[in-house]
Amino acid sequence: MSIYDQYEAVVGLEVHIQLSTKSKAFCGDAAAFGGDQNTHISAISLGLPGTLPRLNKSQVEYAVRLGLALNSKINQRNFFDRKNYFYTDLPKGYQITQDNEPICLGGNFDIEMKNGSRNIRIHRIHHIHMEEDAGKSIHDQHPKYSQIDLNRAGVPLLEVVTEPDFRSAEEVDNFMTQMRQLVRYLGISDGNMEQGSMRCDCNISVRKKGATTYGQRCEVKNMNSMRFARKAIEFEFKRQIDLIESGGKVLQQTLNFDAATGTTSPLRDKEDAHDYRYFPEPDLPPVVLADDYIDAIKTAMPPLPAQLKKQFQKELGLNEYDTNLLTEDKSVALFFLDFVKEYSNYKSAANLVINKILPFLNEKNIALSQFPIGIKNLSAFLKLIDDGQVSSSIAYQRLFPELLEKPNSVPLELAQSLNLIQSSDIGFLEDLVQKTIENNPDKVKAYQNGKKGLIGFFMGEVMKQSKGKAEPKATNALLRKYLES
């Protein structure tokens, strides 16, 4: 047993979620990602003297929405504070954030683990607070100078702070993936980690398995890739154990993760650090939220992934695998709900979406809203199979591609024009059955001597010759009649 097996990792997260509001947290500048450098700015973003912040309604509403989704208590009288520090991308010299009275308190997020089946881990939320983002320093564009882009300065953020409930890098990955899904369902953020719309600080410590107190933690800042977060946690886990086992002590530090080497290095020690001198923001009044206001947000909550998963399994009888695929993306889940209002063979509908529609969207790199075939025609297409008018293999292989080309044609007429309608016409079938029997005298003898399994072979032959158009039930009955007479 390796020494590492005697320890467990303990991780707590501070997740930053950039909100998809139109304007910034405290002024009307655009909050959109990108744009030419320093174009989404005004006197307020620049922190010029004499300017005053004004609260963004949407930021508050989004915070409440997330809080409700995470079972938090909404703090109906919450405050902003100033967190003072100097950095070139923070022109005001302070960040407006919430320290003592954040907007949401407590809560939990129950995570389904991908690998273990039905393994649910509960992660407690400590609180959620509102704040603003800083600008961006750019160090690699000029040989001599660093550059500052203040487009991002003042963009509204929510920070979700968890309890130290994570025990592995995999759990962190799952949590972040499902948090991204949640914020997208809630419509409060695009959840794009690559663009920094979601990033997290990972607080990591280790302790002997079975221990009841926590070890000293280090904080790895600003992870916006789950692959790197996993690496950072795994690296820290070993580094801290090695340190402890060789008689050293883990120091509370802020660390930087170097993606190139997969290692962490200290940015600063906490001891000498941080007196941010938080104090109540004098330019913004307390945020007071009435019961009615919260109730209205509750009533307007969109359906959430966990809810839809349950519905798909309980009411539609779909399995977990299909359910997960159908709810991964909100637009797909809602589309599927509309689809099964029109067409009630749920499993067939699920198969069509999973095996045909999603791969098509992927291949063409388009959104579901651009998928050419509407729900009415998709239903009519599946009904052709259900009614035995077109065999399912022919329908999928030949009719569906045609329908994609001519999405507004009537599926039945399209199938007719392509000569794909199955036939249970006795004359047509008898012909094929007789021919098949004549051509395979040995197999007929074997069948008659008791090898009844050969019926499959005969079915296959008739199907082949009919080019898939022989209606299976009638064919089967006819074959048996001829073989057994």
CB of 24 to ligand ADP, least distance (A): 25
Residue 106 Cβ vs ligand ADP, minimum distance, rounded to whole Å? 13
Starting at the edge strand found earlier in the chain, the sheet holding 94-97 runs 94-97, 81-84, 279-280
Written as one letter, the residue type at 456 is G
* Residue 134 makes contact with ligand ADP by CB under 6 A: no
Nearer to ligand ADP, 13 or 148 (CB): 13
Residues numbered 50 to 109 that lie near ligand ADP (CB under 6 A) are: none
Piece of the chain touching ligand ADP by CB under 6 A; list 10-18, 113-121, 226-234, 238-246 = 10-18
Q: Which position among 20, 59, 162, 327 is part of the footprint of ligand ADP (CB under 6 A)?
A: 162
**Distance (Å, whole) CA 133 – CA 59:** 13
92 vs 217 by CB, closer to ligand ADP:
217
Instruction: Please identify, using beta-carbon distances, which residue of 204 and 229 lies nearer to ligand ADP.
Output: 204
Hey, which residues between 164 and 183 contact ligand ADP (CB under 6 A)? Answer: 164
**Angle at Cα 205 formed by Cα 204 and Cα 206, nearest 5°?**
135
In this complex, which beta carbon is closest to ligand ADP, that of residue 149 or of residue 159? 159
Q: Which stretch binds ligand ADP (CB under 6 A): 25-33, 103-111, 210-218, 275-283?
A: 210-218
Q: Would you call 94 helix, strand, or coil by DSSP?
A: strand
Of these, 205, 253, 323, 327, which contacts ligand ADP (CB under 6 A)?
Answer: 205
Measured from the CB atom, the residue of 217 and 309 that comes closer to ligand ADP is 217
Chain centroid to Cα 122, Å, comes to 18
DSSP string, 333-355: HHHHHHHHHH---HHHHHHHIII
* Residue 169, helix vs strand vs coil: helix
Nearest residue to ligand ADP by CB is 12
Minimum distance from CB of 262 to ligand ADP (Å)? Answer: 21
> What type of residue is 31?
A
* Residue 214 sits in the site that holds ligand ADP (CB under 6 A): yes
Give the binding-site size for ligand ADP (rule: CB under 6 A): 15
Q: Where are the beta strands (DSSP E) in 79-226?
A: 81-84, 94-97, 104-105, 108-112, 120-132, 136-138, 147-149, 156-162, 198-208, 218-223
C-beta of residue 165 within 8 angstroms of C-beta of residue 124: yes
Contact string (CB under 6 A) for ligand ADP, positions 397-426, x = contact: ------------------------------
Q: How far apart are CA 126 and CA 218, in angstroms?
A: 18
Partners of 166 in the β-ladder: 11
Residue 10 binds ligand ADP, judged by CB under 6 A: yes
- Which range, of 68-76, 81-89, 90-98, 213-221, touches ligand ADP by CB under 6 A? 213-221
Asked whether position 163 contacts ligand ADP by CB under 6 A, the answer is yes
Nearest to 154 by CA among 58, 30, 39: 30
Confirm or reject binding of residue 156 to ligand ADP (CB under 6 A).
Answer: no
CB of 7 to ligand ADP, least distance (A): 13
CB atoms within 10 A of CB 315: 10
Cβ pair 402, 477 in contact under 8 A: no
Residue 12 binds ligand ADP (CB under 6 A): yes
d(CA 159, CA 16): 5
Stretch that binds ligand ADP, among 148-156, 203-211, 434-442, 443-451 (CB under 6 A): 203-211
Q: Does 217 bind ligand ADP (CB under 6 A)?
A: yes
- Asked if 50 contacts 92 with a C-beta cutoff of 8 angstroms, the reply is no
Can you name the residues that pair with 279 across neighbouring β-strands? 82
List residues near ligand ADP by CB under 6 A.
10-14, 161-164, 203-205, 214-215, 217
